Structure 1
């Protein structure tokens, strides 16, 4: 596409007093990519670092007038290529909008800007005995705005829900620079269409989130954890099903396969793989945590090869450590294609088995772990950084083929190609197969209504 000759001048005039505009190739190269490892074609035309809502509005107004693509960006921790920015685009960096504007103790809400780090919001709420419950694995580095854009999940989503359940209202800048407010600060409200839910998970394709009112929860006084190993994944998944069948609702229920345990042991010096073929970690919180975790531990112990219960916060965190160390351990030994299919909980054993068959068929290493309570499986395909005939940054053909087969498996089992990471640029071709042409046509119509020139994060999500 042709970039207007005066684009940089106009952007600098619009945001230069508080924000900044860069065309430095080094800045553009960093801003063009995210954690997915994918690479766009060419470099963006400009990087705008917004410091005020008006910086965002002016950037979009100029881009809309000149039909220039804009790629919103938070911390760049996305795993589906949602922040990739190619030639001719403007990267709109929102990380400078990083203020917690208010915490309302009585109404248990927080009002924040999109650049606030997720874990920092949780720490701020903790000072008032409250908690921000969405907890993606990237919470220490990801932003609230990015979590809203992808409808991020996390370890606690089984009990507390994903990001959408925490968002009460939004401030959104539309493609032409118009600022709108959606939702409300109340826990209830059905006036008009639910535009808040529409923007949550839209990956920056419908508007740019510049503020959010989110729900907080009382911080539980007690959090206890049970961990157990099993002969294989099938037995571990059956134990997880038994917990649900008994109508217990843990705040966390995770399952790791033997391949994942082995790489954790290799990198961290632990011995989980020697204890069994799969690991289940369950957590309960609140006033009834002691009763609940005891019952869960009893259920797990019926078929387990090893069981342990953390009786205090330190003991509980030690048992959860294996799950938190899974991805860092994999990334310590290989490049990783990180996937996040989701299937009905009852079909999780079939999903694990299917992924194992796909790994053997394509001759690739797949490390699988899951939010077992909601059927969200993360098959991580590991591969060498440089293989014969492989260009720098290129994903090997067998890895791509295995990923495609995993997506097909998810749909075959009645699931989805993404549970929490989003579609981004990497899974876009699978939307038609999962949703069908009629549903896709409705989505495109909504996109066209809100972004008629299709400048917002083109090539992503929709």
Structure 2
């Protein structure tokens, strides 16, 4: 420990090192439940690429594991510390280095907060679409590490589609540049995409070149109430089948609606079994909403209410964004699942989740990026009740198994981390895991970067 600190101090300013155990403990884990976390030896908050390189060279020399972190808003334990590790927090590297309206790119450091970037590019008439629910606090580096999505992905896609190039500090301290600044580029293997979603297990992202889009018109939102989740999912299928391209298509079940109302008195309709939110940012959103409203009515909606203005639309979106936070207040703990299925199987996924909730005698609320088939079943339980905690974990596994049975994946945007290691192996199969481990070994032969995650 003393040798580690001495070597780190040789290349870092004093304020970049945190050794107080009470403070370092606060960096030990992200927001996931049921995920083990160790005790870090030290927390480092670098401000420059050179400082990150110094940390990795020191770690390699002393064979000390390194756990990269962003804002720790993750939900899979991917940012959890391991015993004796260096926690490498990138939140101080928070500069927007460039915004180019001509090239439609932004160049940023990993600690830039998603919402800060979004507002900055808006000032140039540009738009950065990926918008996780935690967009006011989560960082771009964390978004890249987990290949995160958000509410607007149904039209605009996920983080991976906006990362053009990266600068990455490798495990041995070398600096690797991947990708490009150009609109096109196919030179060599796509290493940029390889790092997106790698959860800090291959290298430390220290700079990103991000693609931007022209800022669209303000979107308007329609809210549709349904007597069942099945009819709401039928409406989703009808909307997509008819070729509509909403800017978001989100679903909240009754449990979620009531939780949001209890938390923030939003006035959402508690009599509904499922609330569908559909938005358009087209030149004529009212016409698009009218067409979608007819499809919702045909699918069985009991009420269809388009928002009158952007302010009312934003209130509905705030309700959806706070869904996960609201469900956390239902009981003392939650396990947030992240299962994505083909859109055609969305109804079966929700029906199966309801059956699992009944089987395990638990409250499970569901909010979903319905247009993507990406569901977030949230298991609510009393963590002080051993039997209820056991049933919560078993129901979580049952939900993931259901997703795979329906042709889906165990994670659409939250990542694997610690929480889903076993399930990643089931989804990829023996050969898939073997090849991924080989890739990990090529970039990190000593296994120092984020050990114990993914595999």
TM-score tier by shorter-chain length is over 0.9
Structure 1's unaligned 5+ residue stretches are: none
- Aligned match for 1:370, one of 364, 368, 371: 368
- Aligned match for 2:67, one of 68, 71, 77: 71
Q: Which residue of 2 aligns with 1:229?
A: 225
Q: Which residue of 1 aligns with 2:377?
A: 379
Cα displacement string for residues 68-123 of structure 1 (whole angstroms, at most 9, x for unaligned residues): 10000111111000010021111001001000000001111100000000000000
Deviation at 1:260, TM superposition (A): 1.5
Q: Which moved more, 1:141-150 or 1:328-337?
A: 328-337
Alignment CA distance shift 1:438-1:318 (3 Å): same
In 1, the alpha carbon distance for the partners of 2:222 and 2:18 equals 50
Q: Which residue of 2 aligns with 1:172?
A: 168
In 2, the alpha carbon distance for the partners of 1:241 and 1:348 equals 9
In 2, the alpha carbon distance for the partners of 1:108 and 1:305 equals 43
User: Is 2:297 aligned against 1:304?
Assistant: no
Q: Give the secondary-structure state (helix, strand or coil) at the position aligned to 2:185.
A: coil
Q: Which residue of 1 aligns with 2:41?
A: 45
Q: Which residue of 2 aligns with 1:21?
A: 17
In 2, the alpha carbon distance for the partners of 1:336 and 1:323 equals 17
Alignment CA distance shift 1:437-1:136 (3 Å): same
In 1, the alpha carbon distance for the partners of 2:213 and 2:41 equals 43
Q: Which residue of 1 aligns with 2:337?
A: 339
Q: Which residue of 2 aligns with 1:322?
A: 319
- Aligned match for 1:415, one of 385, 389, 408: 408
Alpha carbons 2:133, 2:322 under 8 Å: kept: no
Deviation at 1:287, TM superposition (A): 1.9
Q: Give the secondary-structure state (helix, strand or coil) at the position aligned to 1:373.
A: helix
Alpha carbons 2:167, 2:207 under 8 Å: kept: yes
Deviation at 1:5, TM superposition (A): 4.1
In 1, the alpha carbon distance for the partners of 2:218 and 2:136 equals 22
Q: Which residue of 2 aligns with 1:149?
A: 145
Q: Which moved more, 1:309-318 or 1:270-279?
A: 270-279
User: Is 2:230 aligned against 1:242?
Assistant: no
Give the structure-2-normalised TM-score: 0.96
Q: Which residue of 2 aligns with 1:433?
A: 426
Q: Which residue of 2 aligns with 1:450?
A: 443
Alpha carbons 2:353, 2:399 under 8 Å: kept: yes
In 1, the alpha carbon distance for the partners of 2:23 and 2:10 equals 20
In 2, the alpha carbon distance for the partners of 1:145 and 1:325 equals 22
In 1, the alpha carbon distance for the partners of 2:451 and 2:51 equals 21
In 2, the alpha carbon distance for the partners of 1:404 and 1:440 equals 20
Q: Give the secondary-structure state (helix, strand or coil) at the position aligned to 1:14.
A: coil
Q: Give the secondary-structure state (helix, strand or coil) at the position aligned to 2:376.
A: strand
Q: Give the secondary-structure state (helix, strand or coil) at the position aligned to 2:61.
A: helix
Deviation at 1:256, TM superposition (A): 1.2
In 2, the alpha carbon distance for the partners of 1:349 and 1:177 equals 48
Q: Give the secondary-structure state (helix, strand or coil) at the position aligned to 1:332.
A: coil
Alpha carbons 1:259, 1:367 under 8 Å: kept: yes
In 1, the alpha carbon distance for the partners of 2:185 and 2:117 equals 25
Q: Which residue of 2 aligns with 1:399?
A: 392
Cα displacement string for residues 282-305 of structure 1 (whole angstroms, at most 9, x for unaligned residues): 011132423322211221123211
In 1, the alpha carbon distance for the partners of 2:211 and 2:398 equals 38
Deviation at 1:275, TM superposition (A): 4.2
Q: Which residue of 2 aligns with 1:123?
A: 119
Give the structure-1-normalised TM-score: 0.95
Within 5 Å, give how 1:147-226 maps onto structure 2.
Answer: 147-226=143-222
Q: Which moved more, 1:300-309 or 1:441-450?
A: 300-309
Q: Give the secondary-structure state (helix, strand or coil) at the position aligned to 1:11.
A: helix
Alpha carbons 1:82, 1:460 under 8 Å: kept: yes
Deviation at 1:38, TM superposition (A): 4.5
Deviation at 1:153, TM superposition (A): 0.2
Q: Which residue of 2 aligns with 1:101?
A: 97
Q: Give the secondary-structure state (helix, strand or coil) at the position aligned to 1:295.
A: helix
Aligned length: 453
In 1, the alpha carbon distance for the partners of 2:436 and 2:105 equals 31
Q: Give the secondary-structure state (helix, strand or coil) at the position aligned to 1:137.
A: coil
Alignment CA distance shift 1:234-1:448 (3 Å): same
